[in-house]
Structure 1
Amino acid sequence: MNSRGGMRATEMRYPKERKEAVLKKMLPPNNKPIQELAQEEGICEATLYNWRNQARAEGRLLPESGSTPAGWCAADKFAAVVETAAMNEAALSAYCRERGLYVEQINEWRQACEQANDWDRSQNKQLKSIRKADEKRIKELERELKRKEKALAETAALLVLRKKAQAIWGDGEEE
């Protein structure tokens, strides 16, 4: 309550039916952006964001406003997979029509979720092969470096001997 005895906007309570109707407008196929809904419904954007976050926390599928299913975040895709896991083909089709999805999208997302558990194993294999190739390359480079260092040392020794020989016998150019 404010000093005049009225409710502040943040304390305002909306009927559950209105809240559900607004949340439904956020769902596919409508996918209305929160900014648009706020103007249309006369409700503060922060309130709408809170409603969406609360619904998500309850496990409901409420993707980012205005995004197509291809642009949904991983959590939203996973929520759709979980919601449809026990559905038969007819129920899945109805679910998809209701939300503007395709059955193929749900199947792709399900497959991605299943493969996510194998990600560590496949990543480890890939990293091992990369590490092995790197180690092999390092050994080759070290061998090459040793060979070049040896050649450089030999060249330096020859130059020193040449200077000593010139110092002892003099330049061959004096004759």
Structure 2
Amino acid sequence: MALSAETGVHQTTLSRWLRDARSLAPMSDDARRSAPPPSAGARRPEDWTPEQKLRAVTEAAALSERELGEFLRREGLHEAQLAEWRKAALEALGGPARPGYGSAPSRRVRELERQLRRKDKALAEAAAILVLQKKAQAIWGDGGDDTDPETDR
């Protein structure tokens, strides 16, 4: 009771801790050095391999809502994390919507095609202007009218 009052921890908790400590096998110094840290079993979802993520997504897909909750607790995951992995897997399986759309060579080809269309339009406009000039010259002549260039009459 004195330890309970001194530490502020209830007597039943202290008794349970003592009983649990007695049930553990004693460890030698060598075993303590080679033992993994207590948190080694706990893995963060960020540390999972892609294969493990895919396994978790496929296992979770076949579970009911109640079983899914148990699965998430057992694996140490959140439903949002699992949904994110599911979305990433579906996007990877779906492939790109426009194959090769973002690659550098295809961007260069699109840019060159755009320049070619622009220059074709400019060439067509210049050709139309030349045709109109020739027609105007044929209709009105080349300026060789009856007026005298010196007197302008």
Shorter-chain TM-score tier: 0.3 to 0.5
Task: State TM-score, norm by structure 2.
Answer: 0.42
